[in-house]
Amino acid sequence: MAHAEAGGSLPVPNVQELAQTYNNRSDEQIPENYIRVEEAAEEVILDGGISSAIPIIDVHKLLEPQSSKEECAKLGSACRQWGFFQVINHGVPNEVISSFKKDMTEFFKQPLEAKKVYSMIPGNLQGYGQHFVVSEDQKLDWADLFSLVLRPIDSRDMRFWPSHPPSFRSSVERYSSEAAKLVSFLLKFLAMDMGVEPESFLEIFRGQPQSMRMTYYPPCRQADKVVGLSPHTDRMGLTLLLQANDVQGLQIRKDGKWVAINALDGAFIVNIGDTLEILSNGRYKSIEHRAMVHPTRKRMSVALFHAVCREATVGPLPELVKNDGEARYGSLSYMEFVKRFFAAKLGGRGHVESIKTS
Ligand code: OGA
Ligand code: NI
């Protein structure tokens, strides 16, 4: 697993427990490490208006011969202008999504002791805990997460796969394979949009490497002073995000401002990660995003990250470099790329910018 060699994170308090303690005690402020007044107060544009809503891509339209070309152009433009879009009519069966959501909810609902069995262990990023905590005095995110490597199948570490609820493993498996199919389908259309050979493009994602991060954002009485998930870009190729309950909280950085995303019921939010920005020679944008929390309601989301295979080179595709007359990013082995990611502090677009050639 790519993460394993990169080392884990310092242990942090369980936020679900913290929330239980502090949300009922109006006389006491939540711990200082979580207070991020300035960040939390940054201006946010609500995703109500046409001008700020991310594009919606309809998979049916991609499939229908009479609308396919137009929808593919819309998909390409979403990746260039926004780096984010929502997909509808995506073909992942409702029942697969709802069983997975149910089991995920069940998992987080258990007492801490039961979840602790799956705690992250040093040097490994899988399991229950938090990522990217490197110092004692760092500001912390108001969330707990659970991370698993799902694909290729032989890279699964079953020690971290919960055995409760009993259907958890099969729900995750079905969700994972349906999502992987959808992602391959989208990647094929991205290849067409970029004008590269779809078969060879998909070859870069051989084995459909996929990892999952389920995030539980407890409510916070001082929600206007905390951040659920720090601003970051996703490192991998394509992320498929499912908001698992009806509490909104995702914000993306567009033209310097935060734009709140209104996740459509039944849709996936898809975004371009650093690797895909680089492969595309900068056509597609890996956009900074963060998540905020709700004062009285928990929020849950699950991100599936789709990476290139371990043997791949992370660098602009040769056809595109030829076409553009220049490589706008350096090329490195996937392993080198991962190492650099973990050496850089999580935050903003710093990592992908550092790979640019000028
Ligand atoms: C992520 C992510 C956003 C959310 O897990 O990388 O950006 O809404 N999640 O939870
Ligand atoms: Ni993300």
Tell me the per-residue pLDDT of 326-346, one tens digit each, with 9 for 90 and over.
Answer: 999 999 999 999 888 776 655
Closest C-alpha residue for ligand 1 atom 9: 303
Q: Whose CA is nearest to atom 10 of ligand 1?
A: 301
- Going by CA atoms, what residue is nearest to atom 2 of ligand 1? 303
> Closest residue (by CA) to atom 5 of ligand 1?
303
* Structure confidence at residue 281 as a pLDDT band (50, 70, 90): very high
Cα(319) to centroid(ligand 1), Å: 32
Asked if the structure places residue 180 within a domain, the reply is yes
Domain that holds residue 157: 15-20+33-354
Q: Which atom of ligand 1 is nearest to the CA of 145?
A: 5
Residues with CB under 6 A from ligand 1: 213, 215, 229, 234, 241, 249-250, 289, 291, 301, 303
The answer to whether residue 10 scores a pLDDT higher than 80 is: no
Ligand 2 centroid vs 66 CA: distance in angstroms? 34
Task: Name the residue among 139, 116, 141 with its Cα closest to residue 216.
Answer: 141
- Amino acid identity of residue 193, one-letter, is D
- pLDDT for position 26: 77
Q: Give CA–CA dist 17/23, Å, rounded.
A: 10
Give a yes or no: residue 347 inside a domain: yes
What is the Cα 76 distance to its own chain's centre?
20
What pLDDT does 357 receive?
87
- In 255-306, at which residue ranges do the beta strands (DSSP E only) sit? 257-260, 268-272, 289-291, 299-306
Q: Is the pLDDT of residue 116 over 80?
A: yes
Average pLDDT over residues 175-194: 98
Helix 168-194 × helix 94-109 angle, to 10°: 130
155 CA to centre of ligand 1 in angstroms: 23
Residue 210 has pLDDT above 90, yes or no: yes
The minimum-distance atom of ligand 1 relative to the CA of 234 is: 6
What pLDDT does 351 receive?
81
The arithmetic mean of pLDDT across residues 53-63, rounded, is: 95
User: How far, in Å, is the centroid of ligand 1 from the Cα of 266?
Assistant: 17
pLDDT band for 1, please (50, 70, 90 cuts). very low
Q: Is the pLDDT of residue 244 over 60?
A: yes
What is the H or E stretch that residue 250 is in? strand 250-254
**pLDDT value of position 48:** 60
Whether 281 maps to a domain, the answer reads yes
Would you tell me the crossing angle of helices 168-194 and 65-81 to the nearest 10 degrees?
90
Q: Give the range among 18-27, 133-142, 273-282 with minimum mean pLDDT.
A: 133-142
Asked if the structure places residue 167 within a domain, the reply is yes
E-only strand ranges, 135-237: 144-151, 210-217, 229-232
Residue 198 has pLDDT above 60, yes or no: yes
Pick 67 or 121 by higher pLDDT: 67
Q: Which of 73, 357, 313 is nearest to 194 (CA)?
A: 73
Nearest to 293 by CA among 112, 88, 30: 30
- Whether residue 41 is predicted with pLDDT greater than 60 in this model: the reply is yes
Nearest atom, ligand 1, residue 301 CA? 10
Query: What's residue 346's pLDDT?
Result: 56
CA 149-141-174 angle, to 5 degrees, is 25
Helix (H, G, I), strand (E, B) or coil at 176: helix
pTM: predicted TM-score of the whole model, two decimal places: 0.94
Please state, in angstroms and as integers, the Cα–Cα distance from residue 172 to each residue in 47, 90, 100, 118, 236, following that order. Answer: 31, 18, 6, 16, 20
CA of 308 to the centre of ligand 1 (A): 20
Task: Tell me, yes or no, whether 25 lies in a domain.
Answer: no
- pLDDT tens for 61-104 read 999 999 999 999 999 999 999 999 999 999 999 999 999 999 99
Nearest CA to ligand 1 atom 1: 303
Of the listed ranges 133-142, 229-238, 261-270, the least confidently predicted one is 133-142
Selection from 112-126, 312-326, 342-356 with the highest mean pLDDT: 312-326
Does residue 5 fall inside a structural domain? no
For residue 13, the CA-to-ligand 2 centroid distance in Å is 22
Residue carrying structure tokens 């000028």? 358
- The residue that leads in pLDDT, 340 or 313, is 313
Residue with CA nearest ligand 1 atom 8: 250
The contacts of residue 306 (CB under 8 Å, 6+ apart) are 180, 183, 187, 205, 208, 209, 210, 236, 237, 238, 239, 240
The pLDDT of residue 150: 98
Measured in angstroms, how far is the CA atom of residue 181 from the centroid of ligand 2?
A: 20
- Please check the confidence at residue 257 and state whether its pLDDT lies above 50: yes
Is 136 part of any domain?
A: yes
Residues 210, 151 contacting (CB under 8 angstroms) = yes
State the closest ligand 1 atom to the C-alpha of 213, by its place in the atom list counted from 1.
5
CA atoms 230, 236, 240, 244: torsion sign: negative
Residues 6+ apart with CB under 8 A from 217: 142, 143, 228, 229, 247, 249, 291, 293, 294, 298, 299, 300, 301
Confidence of residue 3 (pLDDT cuts 50, 70, 90): very low
Q: What is the CATH number of the domain that holds 295?
A: 2.60.120.330
Give the residue, 204 or 24, on which the prediction is more confident.
204
**What's the confidence (pLDDT) of residue 49?**
57
Residue 151: inside a domain: yes
Q: How many domains does the chain have?
A: 1
